[in-house]
Structure 1
Amino acid sequence: MDWTPLDIENKRFRTSWRGYDKREVELFLHQLAEDLHRLQLDRKELEKELHQLRKENAEHRDREKAIRNVLFNAQKATEQIKANAEKEAKLIIADAELKAEKILQTAHQRLAQLHEDIHELKRQRTQLETKLRSTIETYRQLLDMEKEDGDAELENKIKFLNR
């Protein structure tokens, strides 16, 4: 049975011949009732405080959960950003390597073309030198022939005059 302070104060005992001192029992019951009343008030106060602390604890748990969610989402976002940055970096590197390869290929083609052009120019120079030598030789021969013709004609004129 749950006793209330009023139950204790109103509790009456049978009296017997040589029983307890009635006044002492009543005083004790009165003090006991006051102590019980104080304990009940303390209990109510503690229950209120417990309720408040549980409420605050639940709020703290909710905040902690929210913070953990924020941290988890931030970590997830960070990982996603990092993964995207790595992908983009790989794409940039691959694109740069492809462009560099194309530049090298173009340079090699240009070098090969320049070698062909140089070879063709050397061939044309050799051909031109040969033609020039041939032309010079032809003119030299013509000059020699003309000189011989001129010498022969001069000899003929001298012979004609000497007669």
Structure 2
Amino acid sequence: MLTPLDIESKTFKKGGMGYSAKEVDKFLREIMNHYEKLYKENIELKDKINVLNEGISYYKTIEETLQSTLLLAERTAEETRANAHNKAQQIEKEAELKATLIVQEAKDELYRVQIKIEELISHYDTYKIQIKQFLKTQLEIIDDKTISMANITSKDEIDSFLEHLSKNNNDNEIKEGQTKENSND
């Protein structure tokens, strides 16, 4: 594959009645600029594909683990039923109950894992909102036009400024606590 450097370093032999060298050079610069942009985008997209493929692999591994757990439970139930056919009717009934219980436990475990995944996603969303709110508040403090370091000239003004910052941080912590309480409800 050509690189932008290959295009940039390409030279042509001069001929007597050839194309205008200035126009060819200008066109080559345009091609090189566009190609360099596409080349970089291609590299970025390949990197993104690799990251996404890793994520897909991770979730496929989780899915395979859950499927193998369910298959193992189903195989255990099948084996239990096969052994029960060789025994008396009463033993057969007990084996079938155990097999059903094992399958139900596997399904319950799968359900618990799905609930845990949903909880983790919910926590992630909640924390993301809290962090955004915290950062927004910090930006508001920074952008607060009533606070100007240029206007602070004495120790009392510095103490007053620090007290103002501390009050804003305390207000933010109270808001965060209320947000956590609301999200836990």
TM-score, with structure 2 as normaliser: 0.41
Which structure is higher in helix share?
1
Query: RCO greater where, 1 or 2, for CA within 8 Å and sep 6 or more?
Result: 1
